[in-house]
C-alpha cells in the first residue's frame, strides 16, 4: 500500500485498511475515508494545518 495513503489513514486514527469501507482521492491529493463501522466521513485536508 502506498505510504501516503497509510500516513493519512494513521493521521485520522485508522490503523488498518480493513477498517475502511471507501477511500476517495480528492483534488489536491488528500484522501477521504468512510469507515466500515459507521458512515461518518473522515477527511484530511493538508491546507487546514495550523500555522503559527
Q: Give the pLDDT of residue 51.
A: 39
Ordered by start, the domain boundaries in the chain are 3-45
The Cβ of residue 4 has, within 10 Å, a number of other Cβ atoms equal to: 12
At residue 33, φ and ψ (nearest 5 deg) are -125, 145
Q: Give the pLDDT of residue 40.
A: 52
Whole-angstrom distance, CA of residue 40 vs CA of residue 18: 16
* pTM score of the predicted model: 0.59
Q: Give the pLDDT of residue 48.
A: 45
Q: Give the pLDDT of residue 50.
A: 38
Per-residue pLDDT of the chain (52 residues; tens, 9 = 90+): 688 888 999 998 999 999 999 998 889 888 899 988 754 555 554 444 433 3
Amino acid at each position: 500500500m502506498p505510504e501516503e495513503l497509510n500516513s493519512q489513514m494513521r493521521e485520522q486514527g485508522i490503523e488498518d485498511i480493513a477498517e475502511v469501507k471507501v477511500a476517495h482521492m480528492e483534488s489536491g491529493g488528500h484522501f477521504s475515508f468512510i469507515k466500515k463501522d459507521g458512515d461518518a466521513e473522515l477527511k484530511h485536508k493538508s491546507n487546514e494545518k495550523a500555522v503559527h
